[in-house]
Structure 1
Amino acid sequence: MEETGPAQSPPDSGEAGYPAYFAARCGGLAELDAHLVRCRACPRLVEWREQVGAHPRAAFRDQEYWARPVPGFGPADAALAVVGLAPAAHGGNRTGRMFTGDASGDFLFAALHEVGLASQPTAMHPGDGLELYGVRVTAPVHCAPPANKPTPAERHTCRPWLAAEFGLLGPGLRAVVVLGAFGWQALLPVLGDAGWEPPRPRPAFGHGVQLALPATERRQPLHLLGSYHPSQRNTFTGRLTSGMLVEVLTRAAALAGLRTERP
């Protein structure tokens, strides 16, 4: 009988292989999120998120920062996903909920509410009553990066979390809105990991761009839409207006088969 070596121990949360090992073994989003929030695989991001948490802005001096990876937010049977970039240092990194507690989130959730996909137009903190209808909000990088700029290596290390999230959403997912060029570039290979076949060559990002990914043996057809990111740089200059984002979200909701009347 052939001898076998000892079973390999799971990687520690601070090892680069931690996301790939645990993301692939999760049977549901709750389990995925539980492993994700313990991740310490990117030293630069860990140092930054904790440094920010230890030195809060004056306006948040009385608050304890989350200062950990931020999981996706929304129902497990979402038909529409919204993909951003990464948590903001004093937004999601503070509150522990994606796009919550900063100006970008205010802009996004106000638009989702206008379309009828969110219970309220504001997102202050977990427990504030915000509920999303058929939508899950997530990002390709789950820790706040310095200057809002993750490195390609950090994006690659974090990729298994998003691939697993899309794999778990896959049976009901019908449309995705991608906020910004970084998310667009990061998501296309993730969709391949999750069972779809992204077009080649990869299409360029643009506001209002729309693609239809055909059904595969594993997945239903998927519609992919691009929008400028609701960063203050874009919203203050008028590059992205509320009406522009509402239009993209309305189109995505229709493609996903979601109601666009407020409950």
Structure 2
Amino acid sequence: MMYFAPSPIADTEPPRDCPLCPRLVGVRAALRAEYPDWWNSPVNAFGDPAAWLAIVGLAPGKHGANRTGRPFTGDYSGDLLFSTLAKYGLATGIYAGAPEDDLALTGAIIVNAVKCLPPANKPTPEEIHTCRPFLAGQMGVLPNVRVVVALGQIAHQSAVKVLGGRLPKAKFGHLAEHVMPSGVTLIDSYHCSRYNQNTGRLTTEMFEAVFARAVEIRRRPE
């Protein structure tokens, strides 16, 4: 199973055996022994290198991207994310929960704040900081991005720092908007996790509102 992000994004990815975060390296090694057919490596970006919209996720899920090698693919959160992207003309093809399907993103790209699977979906502050240069490098080769959607508070914090903003002036909140120094607009969303959906913290309507707003911003004259 192999998945490669489109160039020049590919040049910004960490190596498959990235050694930078010892705890995450240990998780990777254990999973490679237990599930040798899984991806079990840093997860690459996925989408359109000419994207106007960048979606910043938290990190790979154990049975999702860490297994399949494609962001949000194979877990519960991907169902809502990819159906929403399709509704707003940002995805084509059929999402079948596997990188072998014919899903493609158009005008959008997905990147993560943390590239490797963290235990309990909770990276440490040091791991988030260590991985941030990869996010910065990827945002740096996406010249057409006008809107960034951050899924959850960790993604929000990394996106603000990468985009040159200041956290005290850009507080996280669902549907909160922040204009970054570069002119890019950052929109926050609660993460589309199973927990948030099942508890009602995030509904389909709330999530769709984020992308409806992104499309509205994109249509404004520059």
- Could you say which residue in structure 1 is the equivalent of 2:154? 182
> Measured at CA, do residues 52 and 116 of structure 1 come closer, stay the same or move farther in structure 2, by a change above 3 Å?
same
Identify the structure with the greater strand proportion: 2
Instruction: Work out whether residues 163 and 180 of structure 2, in 8 Å CA contact, stay in contact via their aligned partners in 1.
Output: no
1:182 corresponds to which letter in structure 2? I
- Could you say which residue in structure 2 is the equivalent of 1:161? 134
- Could you say which residue in structure 2 is the equivalent of 1:29? 9
State the Cα deviation string for residues 97-132 of structure 1 (Å, max 9, x = none): 111110011121111112221114635122210100
Instruction: Work out whether residues 53 and 94 of structure 1, in 8 Å CA contact, stay in contact via their aligned partners in 2.
Output: no
Unaligned residue ranges in structure 2 (runs of 5+)? 1-6
The alpha carbon displacement at 1:50 in A equals: 3.1
1:54 corresponds to which letter in structure 2? A
1:103 counterpart = 2:76? yes
- Could you say which residue in structure 2 is the equivalent of 1:233? 195
Q: Give the alignment partner of residue 206 of structure 1, picking from 164, 173, 184.
A: 173
The alpha carbon displacement at 1:54 in A equals: 3.1
Give me the whole-angstrom Cα distance separating, in 1, the residues matched to 2:193 and 2:76. 8
> Measured at CA, do residues 46 and 199 of structure 1 come closer, stay the same or move farther in structure 2, by a change above 3 Å?
closer
- Could you say which residue in structure 1 is the equivalent of 2:27? 48
1:254 corresponds to which letter in structure 2? E
SS of the equivalent of 1:226 reads strand
Give me the whole-angstrom Cα distance separating, in 2, the residues matched to 1:224 and 1:87. 21
SS of the equivalent of 1:230 reads coil
- Could you say which residue in structure 2 is the equivalent of 1:11? none
The alpha carbon displacement at 1:199 in A equals: 4.4
Percent identity, please: 46
Unaligned residue ranges in structure 1 (runs of 5+)? 1-26, 57-62, 193-197, 216-220, 259-263
- What is the number of equivalent residue pairs in this alignment? 214
State the Cα deviation string for residues 193-244 of structure 1 (Å, max 9, x = none): xxxxx146332101010122244xxxxx211101100111110111111111
Give me the whole-angstrom Cα distance separating, in 1, the residues matched to 2:163 and 2:27. 29
The alpha carbon displacement at 1:37 in A equals: 3.3
Instruction: Work out whether residues 94 and 101 of structure 2, in 8 Å CA contact, stay in contact via their aligned partners in 1.
Output: no
Give me the whole-angstrom Cα distance separating, in 1, the residues matched to 2:195 and 2:52. 29
Give me the whole-angstrom Cα distance separating, in 2, the residues matched to 1:68 and 1:214. 33
1:234 corresponds to which letter in structure 2? N
Give me the whole-angstrom Cα distance separating, in 2, the residues matched to 1:99 and 1:54. 23
RMSD of aligned Cα (Å): 1.9
Structure 1 stretches of 4+ with a deviation exceeding 6 A read: none
1:112-261 matched pairs, under 5 angstroms = 112-120=85-93, 122-169=95-142, 171-192=143-164, 198-199=165-166, 201-215=168-182, 221-257=183-219
2:57 corresponds to which letter in structure 1? G
Structure number with bigger Rg: 1
> Measured at CA, do residues 36 and 161 of structure 1 come closer, stay the same or move farther in structure 2, by a change above 3 Å?
farther
Bigger shift: residues 115-124 or 234-243: 115-124
Give me the whole-angstrom Cα distance separating, in 2, the residues matched to 1:104 and 1:129. 18
Give me the whole-angstrom Cα distance separating, in 1, the residues matched to 2:62 and 2:150. 20
SS of the equivalent of 1:211 reads strand
